[in-house]
């Protein structure tokens, strides 16, 4: 009897997938909806999961969905960069932090109380309202959808030319900022190697 809900669930999923495939919309839109669903679903899981490990791992799928949407928009270089930087760099960093903290999977978030939830909701909706009003205030963002050139454009060389031309200074400045952060991190992380005299003095 335990099997019944499982079978029902599988049937429902199959029906949904079949209906989705049979829907009369272009393939491009279907793929967009798939990626959007991945994004939203895993994003919601990141926020609502009680287990921090599950949150961290479902970030992977959120990043993946965003990368897919970038690629659909014709920004292949940005999409791949998204995968490389967020999945390969930032997520790995998160996970390292998580793994090296003992018993972190036992940690459960507390249920939010009304006193905490209310200010959060107010602040979030205020920021949301501000962003939306600003976004609507920019006329260039409200133009009719522009056909995105998906084929034949080499975005890589365009980005490269811009970075090395118009934005060379910003590019170099941000590189220096990252370099400084690296040196700082190395400085903080390295074990204090004192000379014997200094060590004796500190004692």
Partner 1 sequence: MHQFLVDLFGQNVVPYIIVCALPLVFILVFALLAILGELKLSAFMQHRVGPMEAGPYGLLQPLADIIKLMQKESIRPLKASRWLFQIAPFLVFVGSFAAFAVIPFSPFYIAADLNVGVFYIIAVSSIVVIGIFMAGWASNNKYTLFGGIRSVAQIISYEIPGGFVVLAVVMMAGTLSMQGIIEQQGGGFWNWYIFGGPKAIATHSFITGHDIATPGSWLSLLLIPLMLLATLIYYVCGLAETNRVPFDLPEAESELVAGYNTEYSSMKYAIFYLAEYANMFVVCAIAVTLFLGGWHSPLPKFIVQYLGADSHIWLGLEGLFWFIMKSFVLVLVQILLRWTLPRLRVDQLMHLCWKIFLPVGFVLVIVVAAWITFVAPRPEPAAKAGGDVNTPKVVAPPVARPLAGK
Please report, as ranges, the residues that interact with partner 1 according to CB under 8 A: 21, 27, 53-54, 57, 60, 64, 76-77, 80-81, 83-84, 87-89, 91-92, 95-96, 99, 105, 154-156, 161, 164-166, 168
- Smallest gap from Cβ 153 to partner 1, in A, equals 8
Q: How many CB atoms sit inside 10 A of residue 116's CB? A: 11
In whole angstroms, the minimum distance from the beta carbon of 202 to partner 1 comes to 28
Least CB distance to partner 1 at residue 138 (A): 26
Distance in angstroms (rounded) separating the CA atoms of residues 121 and 112: 12
Q: Which is nearer to partner 1, 36 or 155 (CB)?
A: 155
Please calculate the CA angle 30-34-39 and round it to the nearest 5 degrees: 145
Q: With respect to partner 1, which residue has the nearer C-beta, 36 or 77?
A: 77
Q: In angstroms, what is the minimal distance from the CB of 17 to partner 1?
A: 12
Choose between 29 and 105: whose C-beta lies nearer to partner 1: 105
Closest among 42, 36, 105, 48 to 72, alpha carbons compared: 36
- Geometric angle at alpha carbon 177, from 175 and 183, rounded to 5°: 100
Buried b (16+ CB within 10 A) or exposed e, 89-102: eebeebeeebeeee
Coil/strand/helix, residue 20 = helix
For the bound state, the minimum distance from the C-beta of residue 165 to partner 1, rounded and expressed in Å, comes to 3
Closer residue to partner 1 in complex, CB, 102/147:
102
**Nearer to partner 1 (CB atom), residue 16 or residue 84:** 84
């Amino acid at each position: 009897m335990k099997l019944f809900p499982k079978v029902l669930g599988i049937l429902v999923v199959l029906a949904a997938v079949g209906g989705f495939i049979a829907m009369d919309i272009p393939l491009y839109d279907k793929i967009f909806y798939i990626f959007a669903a991945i994004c939203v679903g895993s994003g919601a899981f990141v926020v609502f999961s009680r287990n921090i490990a599950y949150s961290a791992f479902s970030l992977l799928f959120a990043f993946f969905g965003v990368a897919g949407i970038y690629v659909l928009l014709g920004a292949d270089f940005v999409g791949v960069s998204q995968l490389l930087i967020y999945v390969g760099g930032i997520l790995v960093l998160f996970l390292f932090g998580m793994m090296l903290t003992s018993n972190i999977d036992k940690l459960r978030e507390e249920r939010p109380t009304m006193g905490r939830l209310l200010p959060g909701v107010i602040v979030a909706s205020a920021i949301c309202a501000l962003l939306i009003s600003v976004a609507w205030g920019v006329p260039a963002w409200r133009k009719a959808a522009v056909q995105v050139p998906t084929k034949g454009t080499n975005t890589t060389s365009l980005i490269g030319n811009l970075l090395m031309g118009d934005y060379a200074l910003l590019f170099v400045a941000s590189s220096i900022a990252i370099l400084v952060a690296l040196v700082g991190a190395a400085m903080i992380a390295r074990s204090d190697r004192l000379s014997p005299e200094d060590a004796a003095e500190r004692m």
